[in-house]
Structure 1
Amino acid sequence: MSNLTVYIAITNHGFGHAARTAAIAGQLQKLLPSVKLIMVTTAPKWLLECYIDGDFSYRQRGFDVGVVQADSLKMDLDATLAKWQNIIASKDEIIAEEVAFCQEQGVSLVFADLPPLATLIAKKLGVPCWMSGNFGWDFIYRDWGKEFQAIADWIGECYQQCDRLFRVPMHESMDRFPVIEDVGLTGGDPKYPLDKIRDKFNLTQPKERTILLTFGGLSLDAIPYQNIDRFPGYQFITLDAHAPDLPNLVKVVDRAYRPVDFMPLCDRVVSKPGYSTYAEALKLQIPIVSLTRTGFAESEIILNGMQDYGYHQVISPDLFFADNWDFLNLPLQPPRVSAKLATDGNCSIASSIVDYFNVNPSC
């Protein structure tokens, strides 16, 4: 196939979907340097550049909502519903505009995580739509009452038109998708020498006394950083630019660095439920301390997966926002099962796209 152009549509929700999809795109570019990547997302370009080393086209568009949130835990369902109603009302115009763009660019494959409109764009364009993910948005919305049922039904109908789903671990059934292929964990890998990280950020404590705090692109409102003072023998790392200056808090503001780049130097990661953070930590076998999250159906699934396959600790938001962080003194729990998750999702998906283009490189 002569035209090696992939239109990659990413769901409009936080940074996790963009990070894991960009990691796949970056692997594809390594296997097939001649491929043209069109990254279609509202996530910032600098985030994609952390995962894709070479050139790509950046098209700032959003075709779904995900969840409107004030931070990584607080959801606004009314605003989410209103935005979805606007998108569905405008879908014909959106599809026509994107099809015209794809025709100009010579797109021969649509790949998506996991905006439902991507399937309709691909059908109108006359090319396959492949997707990857661990849940569909209809799965999330069905828990939110009758106001969301029509939207969930419409999303499910879109997903039924997907030609191939790469289902990653810690997933719901995703049985609306007609063709499902299970793959390993996706997400980023560390890309800097650990000695360079230690020297650049003056990480003086050993791994056993180093803790990474990461809560996704939206972070959390009012993280109680003052609790760090209670652990003077530890060093904490955060990529939150708004964190206070504390003696044992390393604040990383250089956007070239990602949480996964620090994980190998840490004893544990303190986070909220999120596939990308969990997957990157599980791939590196770094223990996870996770808050719980209510009202978001994916959370229970991935919390169970995290407990099954990694050393872990599950805490309530009340414990996290308390004024002591005593949970850091408690022992971690071992994985609940002995089986290991496959970690080759990036390569499996990228290799399948290479095969679609009838070229030979492999991981």
Structure 2
Amino acid sequence: MPDRAARLYVAVTPHGYGHLSMTGAVLDALRTRRPEVTVSLETTLPAPIVAARVAGPVTLVPETDDFGLAMVDSTALDPEASAARYRALHADWDAVVGRAARRMAAQAPDLVLSNVGYIALAAAHRLGVPALALGPFTWTEIYRHYFADRPEAAASLATMDAAYDGARAVLVAEGAMPLRDRPNRLPIGPVGAPGRACPDALRRDLGVDGAVRLALVTFGGVASGLDLAAWPRGTGWRWLVRGGVAADHPDAHDMDRLPDWTFPDILASCDAVVTKLGYGMTMECGLCQRPTLYLPRTDGWPEQPYLRDWLARHTPLRAVTAESLGSGAIVDDLAALLDQPVPGPAPRPTGAADAAAVIERLLDES
């Protein structure tokens, strides 16, 4: 090892918040083992969101060509816009990798961790820096699922595969797509950081009594278009929301007005969660065994069956229609959800420590 502290360059796709929460759990585990490691984090996610999910100091690199997918809303991608952006990115591939390599080189990393973009992996390879991929999928599987029949697909997939195959390992977390065809896959446990359940304290801070039910309503970092204006009043439920979806609904509470509460602690303290299934939310709901009402994606998202089946093994789970969600006719669904038994003990979030051990080993080898 060099005399200076080891340097880790982390690239996080800005496609929603789940990749960031997953990465934050791994960095927390790494810092318990190697607190001296310095971290640079490349993402265009908002700095306050990064600060809320990544404890400890980081050097933020707020620039990337990684976009993931173009979305219509939180449960539907825009296939034509996504395909066009991939065509443009791959048409300029050498320059894209060059920009990423220059950003990376400025931080002089000993190791690169990418969740889960392939541009950073290609840049690391160009610089001769070892790299790891971490994520619930790779963009190869997602691109192949939606765009395999397009004329440019073969060349694009070859470029993606070359980048992922160049990583020392692709860390495949439990609950995610299994990626069994990935030659350098390395399975790890569930990755997440369950919050602390303090329901009495949350009710006290909200000014409600113990008879009131609390539901967290969230659709991650992609706009959902949800508006609670049409939801009924006086149902015995209070809705914890963020981002202006509640208008003036008297039963809604803006989480941003709970400055002493972290998102994971709010989730763990609620009676139920209303959401879509991304990896981050699936893990947080499952690790805390919070009953979950989910809106199925309408775009054939290939990760969804794996997340759904994993979550159903660990907590009460029920699907809701877009029509019911839009009108707020979900109280009966929530009641049925709470009547379901919790299926066994909570899973252990071992994946972050698994990933941290791999990172530590590669840093020791660099």
Same fold (TM over 0.5): yes
**Cα distance change, pair 335–118 in 1 and its aligned pair in 2 (3 A):** farther
Q: Structure 2 counterpart of 1:308, which letter?
A: R
Q: Structure 2 counterpart of 1:221, which letter?
A: G
Listed as ranges, the matches of 1:87-166 within 5 Å are 87-145=89-147, 146-147=149-150, 149-150=153-154, 151-166=156-171
Structure-2 separation of matches of 1:260 and 1:238:
13
* TM-score of the pair, normalised by structure 2: 0.87
Where does residue 244 of structure 1 map in the other structure? 247
What is the Cα deviation at residue 258 of structure 1? 4.5
**Cα distance change, pair 120–176 in 1 and its aligned pair in 2 (3 A):** farther
**Cα distance change, pair 222–144 in 1 and its aligned pair in 2 (3 A):** same
Aligned equivalent of 2:309, options 304, 310, 313: 304
Q: Pick which of 319-328 and 61-70 moved more.
A: 319-328
Structure-2 separation of matches of 1:334 and 1:188:
23
What is the Cα deviation at residue 275 of structure 1? 1.0
**Cα distance change, pair 154–100 in 1 and its aligned pair in 2 (3 A):** closer
Where does residue 280 of structure 2 map in the other structure? 276
Q: Deviations over 1:147-171 (max 9, x none)?
A: 2733334323322222112211222
Helix, strand or coil at the partner of 1:358: helix
Structure-2 separation of matches of 1:30 and 1:132:
19
Where does residue 57 of structure 1 map in the other structure? 59
Listed as ranges, the matches of 1:200-349 within 5 Å are 200-205=205-210, 209-229=213-233, 231=235, 233-254=236-257, 257-295=261-299, 296-322=301-327, 324-325=329-330, 326-332=332-338, 333-334=340-341, 341-349=347-355
Aligned equivalent of 2:37, options 35, 38, 54: 35
**Cα distance change, pair 285–331 in 1 and its aligned pair in 2 (3 A):** closer
Provide the aligned C-alpha RMSD in A.
2.7
Kept in 1: contact 2:314–2:345 (CA 8 A): yes
Structure-1 separation of matches of 2:295 and 2:123:
37
Where does residue 180 of structure 2 map in the other structure? 175
Structure-2 separation of matches of 1:241 and 1:31:
40
| Identity across matched positions, percent | 23
**Cα distance change, pair 185–254 in 1 and its aligned pair in 2 (3 A):** farther
Kept in 1: contact 2:132–2:170 (CA 8 A): yes
Gaps of 5+ in 2: none
**Cα distance change, pair 226–318 in 1 and its aligned pair in 2 (3 A):** closer
What is the Cα deviation at residue 311 of structure 1? 1.4
Q: Deviations over 1:172-212 (max 9, x none)?
A: 23134322222222234437976664444335345x72111
**Cα distance change, pair 64–198 in 1 and its aligned pair in 2 (3 A):** same
Q: Deviations over 1:256-305 (max 9, x none)?
A: 65532212221111111211011011111111111111321112221122
Q: Structure 1 counterpart of 2:214, which letter?
A: T
Where does residue 352 of structure 1 map in the other structure? 358
Helix, strand or coil at the partner of 2:113: strand
* Runs of at least 4 residues off by over 6 Å: 191-195
Aligned equivalent of 2:78, options 76, 89, 110: 76
Gaps of 5+ in 1: none
Kept in 2: contact 1:164–1:181 (CA 8 A): yes
**Cα distance change, pair 335–301 in 1 and its aligned pair in 2 (3 A):** farther
Structure-2 separation of matches of 1:210 and 1:254:
16
* TM-score of the pair, normalised by structure 1: 0.88
What is the Cα deviation at residue 108 of structure 1? 0.7
Task: State how many pairs are aligned.
Answer: 356
What is the Cα deviation at residue 4 of structure 1? 0.7
Q: Structure 2 counterpart of 1:328, which letter?
A: L
